[in-house]
Amino acid sequence: MTDHPNTQSDSHVHDQPWRTWATIAVIGILAFGVLLGAIVIPVVQGRGAGLDAYTAICRALGILPGSPARQQVPDRSPPTPVSQVVWTPEVLQILADAKPERGRAKVLEVCSSCHGEQGVSAAPEFPHLAGQSGAAIYKQLHDYKTGSRTNEQMTNVVKDLDDSVVADVAAYYAAQPKRNLRLSTLAESPKSIVQLVELGDPSRSIPPCAACHRPGSGGPIETPILSEQGNDYIILQLKNYASGERRNDVYGRMRVIAAKLTEDEIKGLAAYYRAGFH
Amino acid sequence: MRNVDKLCLAHFWVAFGAFLIASVLGTWQMWVRSPLGANVGTPGQYFMSVTAHGVAMAYVLTTFFIMGFGYFVATTSLKRPLPGVPWAWFAYWMAVAGVVVVLVPIGMGQATVLFTFYPPLTASPWFYIGLVMVVVASWIWCGLMFIAMWEWKRANPGKPVPLAMFGTVANALMWLWTTVGVAAELLFQVIPAAFGFVQTIDVGLARTLFSWTLHAIVYFWLIPAYIAFYTIVPRAAGGRLYSDTMGRVTFILFLLYSLPVGMHHLLMDPEHGNGMKFIQVLLTAFVAIPTLLTIFTISASLEIAGRLRGGRGLFGWIAALPWERPTVLATGLAFVMLGFGGFGGLINMGYGMNAMVHNTSWVTAHFHLIFGGSVVIMYFAIAYEVWPRLTGRDHLSLGALRLQLWLWFVGMVVMTFPWHWLGLQGQWRRVANFNYADPIIASWGPFVIVSFGGGLVLLASALLFVRNLYVLHRGPSADVSRPLYALAVHPPRRVPAALNGFGLWNALVVVLMLFAYGYPIAQFVIAPSPAAIVHRVR
Torsion of CA B131, B134, B136, B138, to 10 degrees: -140
CA distance B27 to B50: 11
Strand (E) or helix (H) holding A169: helix A163-175
Which chain A residues contact residue B498 at CB under 8 A? 15, 18-19, 22
Q: Do A36 and A122 belong together in one domain?
A: no
Closest alpha carbon to B278 in A269, A200, A36, A77:
A36
Strands B200-201 and B532-533: antiparallel
CATH number at residue A227: 1.10.760.10
Q: Is A74 helix (H, G, I), strand (E, B) or coil?
A: coil
Q: Do A53 and A92 belong together in one domain?
A: no
pLDDT along chain A (278 residues), means of 10: 46 76 94 95 91 94 88 69 87 90 91 90 86 91 92 89 92 82 67 89 86 79 81 90 91 92 92 68
CA distance A12 to A19: 10
Is B402 a known active-site residue? no
pLDDT digits (tens, 9 = 90+) for B119-132: 999 999 999 999 99
Q: Does B472 touch chain A (CB under 8 A)?
A: no
Whether residue A7 and residue B39 make contact (CB cut-off 8 A), yes or no, is no
Structural domain of B159: 3-533
Catalytic residue among B47, B219, B254, B447: B219
Q: Does B535 touch chain A (CB under 8 A)?
A: yes
- In sequence order, the 6+-apart residues with CB closer than 8 A to the CB of B514 are none
Which chain A residues contact residue B202 at CB under 8 A? none
- Domain assignment present for A66: no
Whether residue A19 and residue B504 make contact (CB cut-off 8 A), yes or no, is yes
Neighbours of A69 (CB within 10 A): 17
- Domain assignment present for B538: no
- Domain assignment present for B11: yes
Instruction: Identify the DSSP state of B532.
Output: E
Instruction: Select from B110, B113, B274 the residue whose CB has the most chain A CBs within 10 Å, as the one to mutate to test that interface.
Output: B274
CA distance B219 to B136: 19
Whether residue B496 and residue A11 make contact (CB cut-off 8 A), yes or no, is yes
Q: Is B200 helix (H, G, I), strand (E, B) or coil?
A: strand
Q: Per the omega criterion (within 30 degrees of 0), is the bond before B105 cis?
A: no
CA distance A120 to A129: 6
Q: Do A213 and A169 belong together in one domain?
A: no
Q: Indicate the residue of A12, A42, A87 with minimum beta-carbon distance to B497.
A: A12
Residues of chain B with confidence (pLDDT) below 50? none
Provide the domain count of chain A: 3
Closest alpha carbon to A130 in A179, A165, A168, A96:
A179
Q: Does B282 touch chain A (CB under 8 A)?
A: yes
Helical H runs in A190-262? Answer: 191-198, 210-213, 231-243, 253-260
Q: Indicate the residue of B282, B519, B537 with minimum beta-carbon distance to A216.
A: B537
Q: Is A154 helix (H, G, I), strand (E, B) or coil?
A: helix
Closest alpha carbon to A168 in A123, A109, A221:
A109
Instruction: Select from A2, A30, A197 the residue whose CB has the most chain B CBs within 10 Å, as the one to mutate to test that interface.
Output: A30
pLDDT digits (tens, 9 = 90+) for A31-66: 999 999 999 999 999 998 889 999 999 999 999 888
Q: Do A156 and A207 belong together in one domain?
A: no
- In sequence order, the 6+-apart residues with CB closer than 8 A to the CB of B444 are B422, B425, B427, B434
> Cα B523 to chain center, whole Å?
31
Q: Do A51 and A119 belong together in one domain?
A: no
Q: Indicate the residue of A38, A93, A96 with minimum beta-carbon distance to B279.
A: A38
Q: Is A119 helix (H, G, I), strand (E, B) or coil?
A: coil
Closest alpha carbon to B500 in A121, A5, A123, A15:
A15
Which chain B residues contact residue A14 at CB under 8 A? 494, 496-497
The predicted pLDDT at position A6 comes to: 46
Q: Indicate the residue of B273, B279, B498 with minimum beta-carbon distance to A19.
A: B498
User: A206: which strand partners?
Assistant: A201
Q: Does B255 touch chain A (CB under 8 A)?
A: no
Torsion of CA B100, B101, B106, B107, to 10 degrees: 60
Residue-by-residue DSSP string for B417-429: HHHHHHHHTT-BS
CATH number at residue B309: 1.20.210.10
Q: Determine the distance in angstroms separating the CA of A15 from the nearest CA of chain B, rounded to an integer.
A: 5
By CA distance, what is A21's nearest residue in B? B498
- Domain assignment present for A3: no
CA distance A237 to B387: 65
- Domain assignment present for B451: yes
Q: Do A223 and A189 belong together in one domain?
A: yes
Q: Do A209 and A165 belong together in one domain?
A: no
User: Of A146, A178, A210, which residue sits at a domain end?
Assistant: A178
CA distance B458 to B440: 28
Contact, B105 vs B126, CB < 8 A? yes
Q: Does B496 touch chain A (CB under 8 A)?
A: yes
Neighbours of A264 (CB within 10 A): 11
Q: Does B159 touch chain A (CB under 8 A)?
A: yes
The predicted pLDDT at position A77 comes to: 67
By CA distance, what is B533's nearest residue in A? A87
Is B470 a known active-site residue? no
Contact, A117 vs A108, CB < 8 A? yes
Q: Which of residues 294-333 of B touch A (CB under 8 A)?
A: none
Whether residue A62 and residue B272 make contact (CB cut-off 8 A), yes or no, is yes
Q: Do A114 and A172 belong together in one domain?
A: yes
- Domain assignment present for A5: no
Q: Do A93 and A174 belong together in one domain?
A: yes
Provide the domain count of chain B: 1
- B148 φ, ψ (degrees, to nearest 5): -60, -45
Cα angle B126-B130-B136, degrees, rounded to a multiple of 5: 140
Q: Does B478 touch chain A (CB under 8 A)?
A: no
Contact, A274 vs A230, CB < 8 A? yes
Instruction: Select from B33, B279, B438, B494 the residue whose CB has the most chain A CBs within 10 Å, as the one to mutate to test that interface.
Output: B279
Whether residue B274 and residue A34 make contact (CB cut-off 8 A), yes or no, is no
CA distance A116 to A123: 10
- Domain assignment present for A208: yes
Q: Does B286 touch chain A (CB under 8 A)?
A: yes
User: Of A178, A194, A209, which residue sits at a domain end?
Assistant: A178
Catalytic residue among B265, B366, B395, B420: B366
Catalytic residue among B315, B343, B351, B430: B430
- Domain assignment present for A9: no
Which chain B residues contact residue A15 at CB under 8 A? 496-498
CA distance B160 to A242: 77
- Domain assignment present for A258: yes
Q: Determine the distance in angstroms separating the CA of B424 from the nearest CA of chain A, rounded to an integer.
A: 23
The predicted pLDDT at position B43 comes to: 86
The predicted pLDDT at position A2 comes to: 41
Q: What is the widest separation between alpha-carbon atoms in chain A?
A: 99
Closest alpha carbon to B217 in B61, B23, B407:
B61
Residue-by-residue DSSP string for B314-334: TTHHHHHS-TTSHHHHHHHHH
- Domain assignment present for B34: yes
Tell me the residue type at B396. Answer: L
CA distance B304 to B297: 11
Q: Indicate the residue of A23, A38, A211 with minimum beta-carbon distance to B508.
A: A23
Structural domain of A35: 16-61
Whether residue A87 and residue B533 make contact (CB cut-off 8 A), yes or no, is yes
Instruction: Name the burial class of residue B154, with classes exposed (0-12), middle (13-18) and buried (19+) by CB atoms within 10 angstroms of its CB.
Output: exposed
Instruction: Select from A2, A7, A11, A88 the residue whose CB has the most chain B CBs within 10 Å, as the one to mutate to test that interface.
Output: A11
Contact, B275 vs A60, CB < 8 A? yes
Q: Indicate the residue of B200, B493, B505 with minimum beta-carbon distance to A1.
A: B493
The predicted pLDDT at position A4 comes to: 45
- Domain assignment present for A156: yes
Is B219 a known active-site residue? yes
Instruction: Name the burial class of residue B426, with classes exposed (0-12), middle (13-18) and buried (19+) by CB atoms within 10 angstroms of its CB.
Output: middle
Q: Do A186 and A278 belong together in one domain?
A: yes
Neighbours of B291 (CB within 10 A): 18
The predicted pLDDT at position B91 comes to: 98
The predicted pLDDT at position A3 comes to: 44
CA distance B520 to B205: 9
User: B428: which strand partners?
Assistant: B360
Q: Do A190 and A276 belong together in one domain?
A: yes
SS3 sequence, B432-477?
CCCCCCCHHHHCCHHHHHHHHHHHHHHHHHHHHHHHHHHHHHHCCE
Q: Do A159 and A110 belong together in one domain?
A: yes
- In sequence order, the 6+-apart residues with CB closer than 8 A to the CB of B55 are B102, B103, B106, B115, B131
Q: Is B488 helix (H, G, I), strand (E, B) or coil?
A: strand
Strand (E) or helix (H) holding A136: helix A134-146
pTM of the model: 0.82
Cα angle B356-B362-B368, degrees, rounded to a multiple of 5: 150
- Domain assignment present for A1: no
Q: Indicate the residue of B200, B273, B496 with minimum beta-carbon distance to A14.
A: B496
